[in-house]
Structure 1
Amino acid sequence: MGLKSWFTTGEWNGERSTSPNDDWLAGKWDDFVTGRGKSGKTISKQNALTISGVYAAVKVYSDAISSLPVHIMRETGSTKEKYKKHPVYPLLSREPNKLMTVNTFRQIVVPELLLWGNSFSIIEFHKGSFRPKSLLPVHPSKVEVDIIEGVLVYTIKMENSDDIILDQSNVLHFRGQGDTVIGKSVIDCAKENLELGAAAEEFGNRFFGNGASMSGVLQTDEKLSDKAFNNLKNSFNDSNGGLANASKPLILEEGLKYQPISIPPDNAQFLETRRFNIEDVARWFNLPPDKLKDLSRATFSNLEQQDLNFVRHSLMPYVISIEQELTRKLLRETEKRSVWFEMNLDGLLRGDIKTRTESYRTLFNIGAMSANEIRARENMNPFEGGDARYVPMNLGKVDEEGNNQPQTEAIEPDENQLT
């Protein structure tokens, strides 16, 4: 199977390796843990999403980044503007390739970045203009990265054809935190903590599956045969196990006694363990706990501030990294001084209507914003004359150079009109 059948209906013109490495499972990306952790659970990049906290964290980032408009900006003198006529603009605003929308593309890229520490997309170029024409995401497990003569070289492992070898100019590489050119997965760093959380969730499932009651022992002074033992065990489980049999009276015969061997999980800090797991996942993914639906410490007064902290301290590092990689790989060297990619965070940074109104009023009264600029922020159409800006000095009009225009002389009233 070639790259063409995997990703796109267009023609692939990338270089193919003549000596594929069959032992790719021993490469840099095959770093799965095969042994069990201290909790008895094994967490890898594949099954980490089975932990509710991890799933929620990945979804929060994916949904947030997928909702951000991506623009190509151009500097024109002392101002900047959207460069919608740039030939690369449609790739990040409408369709990165023939198989998916921009939103789908980001929903693939962001989870890979979070769970694997790296996200890779092949950049396919037009043959004539050498401008990027499609972005083709490749799963990190199929990519090996090497440094050869100071250049990053990416080897993409194909299932039924030769490997594809590309240099760094042909691969969009979003990288997570790490101390090399390869990002390190949060899952690898947080492995032991996440395994504890997975063990707690499995314990909870088994606990409620057994009728929300901890295990105990049946005692008797009589000696039971193997057949009698199995009959007793099956009969007891059938009549008392599971949620449907919870709280039913326990009927024992022939001198049997039931002795609990543990205490209920609330007394055993089971719920506290699960809550700690959510808080721990939030720390690993640098998220406010309320983003993972832990509202135990959230109030209406601090939720908005936590949302702003999420944008500034959690989301912003990823946004900057993505912007820089897009600018670095999708634009020509001659453009980069005055053209760049920018993700618009205004929608996420907006406060409630009262806060926004106070902010707009302040900016309007110092001549920093016009009425039409405010209306644009609120997705409202402009009106004629709304581009004028004003300052507090008798609300004098500000000209294009930012100077306060003098007021026209007041018209003296006719004395005859006053009588």
Structure 2
Amino acid sequence: MGFLMETRAEEKKPTTLQQLFSGADLSEVDVNRSNILSISAVSSAIELISSTISTLDFKLYKKINKTKIEEIEEDNRLYLLNTEPNFLFNSTQLKKAMVQDLIIDGNTYVNIEKSKNEFKKLNYLESKNVSVMLDTEVIHKDAKLTVQGKEFEVYDFIIATLNTLDGVQGKGILKNNRDLLALALLVQSYLNKNFKSGGGRKGIWQSTKHLGIEEFKQFKQDSKDIQETDEPIILNKELSYTPLTNTNRDMQILEIKRFLAEELRNIFNIPEKLDNDGFKSFIKIVLNPIINSLESAINKALLLEDEKKQGYFFKLDVNELTRADIDTRFLAYKTSLDAGIESVNEIRMKENLEPVNGLDIHKMTIGQALYNSKNGSWFVPNTGVTTKDGEVVNNETDKQTKVDSNSENDRNIGEDKADLQKEKVQNN
């Protein structure tokens, strides 16, 4: 009886978990952008982060003083950032691509087209198409960027980075977490091969007669073809097949895959549950560092030097992310209104409602005094006093005092007239 077992002389490949973890050389695994995006845990995390940030709009503000900030609504740069950066891209695509580059590569590059001080286009470039040339200075560093052999200055680009040491090149998960990603790719490759070969179909083939050399080669090929197909298996009477059960180590592969998925999730610091508390942590821990990197890069590249000195700055509007359910939201509005932080019209505008005349008032703690932010006047219902710029505009107490004073004067005049009349009578 012959046992049909194949012996390979070529390079050994990991076929069990023990070989997979201890025998495999992770440095030989090809870890690149395309490969890691085939890992579901990685692609889903990057999609969640990039899609969330890409829905946010940039706003332009000017700091007037320590307590007042003015929003600038008409500016061509807002159109480029929030609507259409160029002929091919829309703003959502641009921001999503920038965030994905930041996470994966640690840097992102957007070319700026402008005429003098007028900004025309924002052109996204893949990180692989941009080469960075650094000089040898340790303190006063300088750099230039090249794209297809053409040289650019750093101020010709929006350059956002994470984990950078020079300001133009960063480190993303491809560099910071390479070994873990390589291990995940090995496990995924092992599973794919296992499923492709039919999983439990590995076993022992037996023949009741001796096979010649050519017959043996043909049968090896036939047995391999059988393992890689889901078609029914038909054997002649001289052949038999005994399947081998999976070993304990082979059965642990799914548990290891779940463990790797958890470790990959930890790379991005995404909370296990994205409930209200989990989503708040997601915004604070995961989104804020990326948002701050984008804002800093855009402020540096898209603001003129005079505007920076005058207090201009771009900021992503994260209000939609923190927008709670209606009960929680209106309870927060009530607290803000009672504390005098916001006026009724400011709250209405947050709910996309039109302002109402006369509702630009703020509740204050001094006897529920009311402050009108439109004309700068105060009204204290308890005293009936209305003041503006420190002067009394309408004072019911003053009115009463004037009335009392007039009555007293009339009374005095009447008494004087009576005395004169009395003197005249006596003289006569």
Q: CA, structure 1 residues 275+79, in 2 after alignment: closer, same or farther (shift >3 Å)?
A: same
Question: What letter is aligned with 2:44?
Answer: A
Unaligned runs of 5+ in 2: 1-23, 385-428
Structure 1 position 140, deviation (Å): 1.7
Counterparts in 2 of 1:157 and 1:404: CA distance versus 1, 3 Å:
closer
CA contact (8 A) 1:214 1:263 kept: no
Matched, 1:53 2:26: no
Report if the CA contact (8 A) 1:220-1:257 is conserved. no
Q: Does 1:177 align with 2:163?
A: yes
Change (3 A) 1:255 1:101: closer
Q: Greater shift after overlay, 278-287 or 327-336?
A: 278-287
Letter of the structure 2 residue corresponding to residue 152 of structure 1: D
Structure 1 unaligned spans of 5+: 1-35, 290-297, 411-419
Cα distance in 1 for residues equivalent to 2:305 and 2:30: 46
Equivalent residue for 2:144?
154
Q: Distance in 1 between matches of 2:147 and 2:155?
A: 18
Superposition pairs for residues 209-220 of structure 1, below 5 Å?
209-213=196-200, 215-219=202-206
- How much is the aligned-residue C-alpha RMSD, in angstroms? 3.2
- Once residues 98 and 209 of structure 2 are traced to their aligned partners in structure 1, the CA distance between those partners, rounded to angstroms, is 64
> What whole-Å deviation, never above 9, does each CA across 1:111-147 have from its counterpart, x for those lacking one?
22222211112222214xx233222222222222234
By how many angstroms is 1:87 displaced?
4.0
State how 1:272-287 maps to structure 2 within 5 Å.
272-287=255-270
Amino acid at match of 1:406: V
Letter in 2 for 1:311: I
State the match for 1:254 in structure 2: 238
Q: Give the whole-Å Cα distance in 1 for the aligned partners of 2:53 and 2:197.
A: 41
Q: CA deviation at 1:319?
A: 0.7
Code of the residue aligned with 2:64 in structure 1: it is T
TM-score (norm 2): 0.73
SS of the equivalent of 2:96 reads helix
TM normalised by structure 1 equals 0.74
Deviation at 1:316, TM superposition (A): 0.3
Q: Given that residues 213 and 264 in structure 1 are in contact (C-alpha distance below 8 angstroms), is that contact kept between their aligned partners in structure 2?
A: no
1:138 alignment counterpart: 125
Please give the per-residue CA displacement for 1:152-183, whole angstroms capped at 9, x wherever unaligned: 3323232xxxx222222222111121333320
Q: Could you list the per-position Cα deviations for residues 290-348 of structure 1 after superposition, in whole angstroms to 9, with x for gaps in the alignment?
A: xxxxxxxx4xxx62211111111111011111111111111111111411000011111
Query: Contact between 2:200 and 2:246, CA under 8 Å: does it hold in 1?
Result: no
Larger deviation: 280-289 or 215-224?
215-224
Partner of 1:326: 298
After TM superposition, list the pairs within 5 Å mapping 1:35-114 onto structure 2: 37-38=25-26, 41-77=29-65, 78-114=67-103
Please say which of residues 196-205 and 376-385 is displaced more in the overlay. 376-385
Q: Report sequence identity in percent.
A: 24
Match of 1:405 among 379, 397, 414: 379
> Which residue does 1:366 correspond to in 2?
339
- Which residue among 381, 384, 387 is the counterpart of 2:357? 384
For 2:179, which of 184, 189, 192 is the aligned residue?
192
Distance in 1, matches of 2:305 and 2:329, equals 39
Q: Output the CA distance in 1 between the equivalents of 2:114 and 2:356.
A: 42
Relative to structure 1, is the Cα distance of residues 222 and 371 closer, same or farther in structure 2, using a 3 angstrom cutoff?
A: farther
**Whole-angstrom CA distance in 2 between matches of 1:341 and 1:100:** 21
Larger Rg: 2
SS at match of 2:295: helix
3-state SS in 2 of match to 1:389? strand
Q: CA deviation at 1:214?
A: 5.8
Match of 1:344 among 293, 307, 317: 317
- Contact residue 319 and residue 343 of structure 1 kept, 8 A: yes
Contact 2:205 2:239 in 1 (8 A): no
Whole-Å separation in 2 of the counterparts to 1:96 and 1:342: 17
Q: For residue 235 of structure 1, report the CA deviation from its aligned partner.
A: 5.1
Contact 2:114/2:120 (CA < 8 Å) preserved in 1? yes
1:306 maps to which residue? 278
Return 82-91 or 323-332, whichever deviates more.
82-91
* Residues 12-55 of structure 1, C-alpha deviations (whole Å, 9 max, x = no match): xxxxxxxxxxxxxxxxxxxxxxxx84396421234321222221
Task: Provide the residue aligned with 1:4 in structure 2.
Answer: none
Q: Number of aligned pairs?
A: 355
Residues of 2 paired with 1:39 and 1:155: CA distance? Answer: 29
Q: Which one has a larger percent helix, Structure 1 or Structure 2?
A: 2
Change (3 A) 1:38 1:240: closer
**Contact 1:124/1:135 (<8 A) preserved:** yes
Match of 1:116 in 2: 105
Q: CA deviation at 1:63?
A: 0.6
CA positional deviation for 1:234: 5.3
- Alignment partner, residue 150 of structure 2: 164
Aligned AA (1:166): F
